[in-house]
Each structure stands twice: as C-alpha cells, then as structure tokens.
Amino acid sequence: MHKDRDFPMVASRLVQNEIRKLYMDHKARHGVGDLIPKRKEPFTREILLDTILGAPEGTAVGRFTIAWASRSGRSLRALTKTLASTGFRKAEVSVDKVDQSLSDCLTRAGLSWLLRGKVYASGSAPADLLSSPQPGDFAVLQPPPSKSDPFDMVWGSKPIFLPFCSDPLSAFTSLADIELNDPIIGAPERTAMFTDDHGAPLTGHFLDRLLHGLLLRHFPESVAKNYSWHSCRIWLATALLASGASRAQIQALCRWQTDESLNIYACLGAEQYSRLLAGAFGARIDAARAATLADAVPFICRHDVFAATGAARVLADADFDAELAPEDDADDD
C-alpha cells in the first residue's frame, strides 16, 4: 500500500529480520503450532464426482435448487469439471458482482474447439460434431487474466487443451452441452462461460455458499470448512504429482510462474495435455495436511459420517447471506 502511494519503504531485508525476530519470540513463548500455514485440502475424486457432481436432482441449498438440465445446472457441472481439469482459480470463472466487467472472467470468447483437426470459434462449431465427438477432439480454453498474470501476457498465448474422453471428470462433454444449449448473449467476450438461468455470470459468493451446502450434505462442518473451490486447483496439482508428472509439468499446467516451467514447458501441446490429464484422472488422492489430518476426507468413513450427521437432510434453510471463511487462494506465484 505504501509503495502504491509512492511512500519510501524500509529495505525489505530489515523488515524480514524484524519479522524473523518476532517469529523466534513467538516460538519461544507459544511454540510453532500457530505459525503453520492453514491451507485448504485437495478434493478427492469422490468429493468431485459424488458430493458435487453427484448431488441429486432437486437438491436445495438455500434458495437455489439444482436442476442439472437447466442452464445453471449445466454451468455448475461444467465449472466443476473445468476447475478440476485446469486449476483455474474461482476468481477466473466468476465475478464479485453480476454487473461488473468480465475482463478477468472466463468468457465464451475464451472457448474454441478442435474437432476432426479443424478449429472452430465458440458459436460456430457444427452441432453434429459436438454431439458426436471422437478421440482427438478437444475443447480449447484461453486462460483469462489471473492475480499472478493480470494482463494475460504470460499465459494468454498458451491454450489449454481439454480432450474428449470417457472419464466422468472430462470437461469436454459438459462444455459442449453449454455450447449446444446456451446461446451467446451479445458478443462472446460479454457472455460469461458459466452462468445462471438468466445468462448472468455466476458470483463467487454464490459458488462458495453452494459448495459449502453440498459438502454439508455428506460431511460435518469440521470437515467441510477445510475445502473451497480452490481445492480443485490443489487436487489437480496433487493428482498430477501422484500420476508421475514432473514438477515442471505441474507448474506449467497449473500456471505457476517459475523459470523452470516457463523455460522447459513454454507451451504444452494437445497430446501432452491428454496424457497428463489422463494420468491425473486415474490417480488416487489420499494426501492431507498435518493441521487437519483428523478431519481429512481420505481417512474418514463416509458411511459413519452419514450416520453421525444425518446427512440425508436437504439444506433448504441454509443461510446464503452468511459469510464463509476467506478462500485460501494463496498461491506462491
């Protein structure tokens, strides 16, 4: 804040020394427990497929009711699979307010199709090709601006290839459902990729409350609070690591700005994306952080959680206006 206002700053080395002294004093007085970062846990495949995508038709969370065949239902399904396949942050696929600019949000202008070897812009892909995809077909996304790349100068020229495949986490078919059923409203760059039933962009607040409600159907609050939409990004990185992807490949797919990833994997191709995502989709995640190990989903019997929490209830009375804990979006970019 001082730098933005042109106030002279103390040398960072001096600040770091003082912070280190404070840390050492805290450690001597209280130990290191409070200094360990509290970050969100990675989703598991079961959370993605059962808890979110497997929510029954008509599930109510607050004032919202899931109808998978509706525009909002198609968006929720495609958004979940897209986040799991790309590692996008929530801020890259939603807005703070419905009437704000979409300059930082994924729009239909950022979607194209590689079908039978030919590229089509969103809105121009033949319906018969989208309805009957074949191996070798891809949905292609241009990454929107992000907090680490606010002008899209680093990642904007590096497309993300999402292959058609039979895995239920593949985003291709769900994005094709949007393309086939939800018309572009105005210009493609003014139509958000993921929208409500009226074509308005989804807000981050709505997505947070919806996810929390869906998690509470299966898990107690002590477990649900450890997850956010950022858990998709953590899941992808963790699954890629478990599948044998190199750290440079993981940094490239998750778009972390490091010299290693930029120099070695400056631009990943369609076939590389296919192989890496196939490996990630097949990985079994049982990683958990030490601070939340007791409440980590991989080590919890969900049937016991069902019995203990009465999780079959529908959260029709959930408070959509209550504030959640801030999303853990602290990437070291």
Per domain, the residue ranges of the chain are 3-35, 45-309
Per-residue pLDDT band at 294 (split at 50, 70, 90): low
Q: Is the pLDDT of residue 331 over 80?
A: no
Task: Identify the band that residue 266 occupies on the pLDDT scale cut at 50, 70 and 90.
Answer: very low
For 140, the enclosing helix (H) or strand (E) is: strand 138-141
Point out which residues pair with 201 in neighbouring strands: 195
Q: Provide the 3-class DSSP secondary structure of residue 302.
A: helix
The pLDDT, as a whole number, for residue 69 is 97
pLDDT for position 139: 97
pTM for the structure as a whole:
0.78
Helix, strand, coil: what percent of the chain each, to 5? 45, 10, 45
DSSP string computed for 260-285 = HHHHH-SS--HHHHHHHHHHHHTPPP
Residue 324 scores a pLDDT above 70: no
Binning pLDDT at 50, 70 and 90, where does residue 304 land?
low
pLDDT of 207 > 80? The answer is yes
Q: How confident is the model at residue 284 (pLDDT cuts 50, 70, 90)?
A: confident
Give 228-260 pLDDT, tens digit per residue.
Answer: 999 999 999 889 888 888 888 888 888 887 655
